[in-house]
Amino acid sequence: MIRKALLAALLVTCVALPGSASAQTPAPDAATLGAIQLAPNEGRAVAEKLASELTKNFVSPANARDYAAMLRANAAAGRYDKGTRGELAKRLTEDMLAVHKDGHLHVELATADGPVGGRIGGKPLPPEIQAAKWIASGVAYIRPSVFRSSAEEVAAFKAFMEDHKDASTIIFDLRNHHGGRLGEMDVMFPYLFAEKTPLVKMEMARAIFEENGSPFGESPTLVVEKGADKVTSTHFAIPGPDTALRKAQVLLLTSNATASAAEHFSLAMKTSGRGTLIGEATAGANHFGGPLELNENFAVWMPIGRSYNPRTGEDWEGAGIQPDIAVDPRRALVTALEKAGVPHAEAVRLDAGEVPAEPVHKEKVSAR
């Protein structure tokens, strides 16, 4: 089953599969696992299990049926009979995304200890907070990589907001933010909103909700409504103590690498009118869900629901969220600093001192 602890728009954080071992257990080497040759009929069995789980759980039943038909046809033709386990995971993912694009759906290697690494070939993620500081007089700046929502990490975000509660401008640099959970947002929003404000809605099939429970946990920031076929959770900002941040200028830096929960954050600030997005359209990875075991060697990151604008009903899967001020994301911090009143030459100097851990723009890969 889908692990109940998963939260909205989880993109990259490595979450253990059911029955996982301690988090202290060293993760197996991805290259070693990926190099193992497929056993006879192993590929066909994985493809059939994947087809079955998609039809039961995938956010779009129509797309799930298309995926399943393709997987079964390819399996019958022998497409998944040869190669290594790593090649099979890659082939299954590519085949699904050739039918319907999805910003989260992918097959990955797994062991009894859970999926390999955090995402993208098992590469480790940068620290959750790459930078958090007064970047200029009256201007607070934070550059996160992911929202893991551990108690320690949530506390770090709350401390940042408290330490910078007198800021006249606050800049959230989300240009290489991979996604994550709601916990960090829920300690930042109280500083930014003066009234209880609906931000984003999340929708999933009621049957999946009843079987697995809420993927978001319980929180006073969520209001859950159960319909005949769907369950909808509305994410609210709930005001905290009155500080200068309620009136501060809020700027968010975005790029086509801004994904998942970072897009949730971006949409919340844009649709509420509380923040200004600077950069380029976000990644378009809208669907939430989590890893689901296929067998002891493979897992699928299964999208089970969608998040959407409560005013329009539209989500951002494949399209991303458009910026309010469109600029090259490599220049977004300079633009934000200038908007905060920093002279151009100083803004350029400050930008040069901030080096994100990963590129702030993803170059498009040519079609195969």
Going by C-beta distance under 8 Å and a sequence separation of 6 or more, which residues neighbour residue 278? 251, 252, 253, 254, 323, 324, 325, 327, 332, 335, 336, 339
Confidence of residue 111 (pLDDT cuts 50, 70, 90): low
295-332 pLDDT per residue, tens: 999 999 999 999 999 999 999 999 999 999 999 999 99
Q: Are 155 and 127 in contact (CB under 8 A)?
A: no
According to CATH, the topology of domain 129-287+305-352 is 2-enoyl-CoA Hydratase; Chain A, domain 1 (3.90.226)
Q: What is the largest CA-CA distance in the chain?
A: 66
- Indicate the SS3 state at residue 25: coil
Q: Are 325 and 357 in contact (CB under 8 A)?
A: no
Position with higher pLDDT, 367 vs 253? 253
Residue 233: name the closest of 267, 257, 208, 198 by CA.
198
Q: How far is CA 32 from the centre of its chain?
A: 27
Q: Are 102 and 317 in contact (CB under 8 A)?
A: yes
Provide the β-strand partners of residue 302: 290
Average model confidence (pLDDT) across the chain: 89
Question: pTM surpassing 0.75?
Answer: yes
Confidence of residue 17 (pLDDT cuts 50, 70, 90): very low
pLDDT over 60 (residue 20): no
Angstrom distances, CA of residue 268 to CA of 80, 235, 236, 256, 338: 42, 9, 9, 18, 24
Say if strands 325-326 and 276-279 run parallel, antiparallel, or are unpaired: parallel
pLDDT over 50 (residue 357): yes
The dihedral over CA atoms of 338, 343, 347, 350, expressed in degrees to the nearest 10, equals -130
Give the span between the Cα atoms of 98 and 362, in whole angstroms.
20
170-220 pLDDT per residue, tens: 999 999 999 999 999 999 999 999 999 999 999 999 999 999 888 898 899
90-101 pLDDT per residue, tens: 999 999 999 999
Residue 24 Rama label (left phi>0; alpha psi -120 to 50; beta): alpha
Going by C-beta distance under 8 Å and a sequence separation of 6 or more, which residues neighbour residue 73? none
Residue 186: name the closest of 139, 154, 218 by CA.
154
Angstrom distances, CA of residue 291 to CA of 118, 131, 181, 366: 11, 29, 14, 28
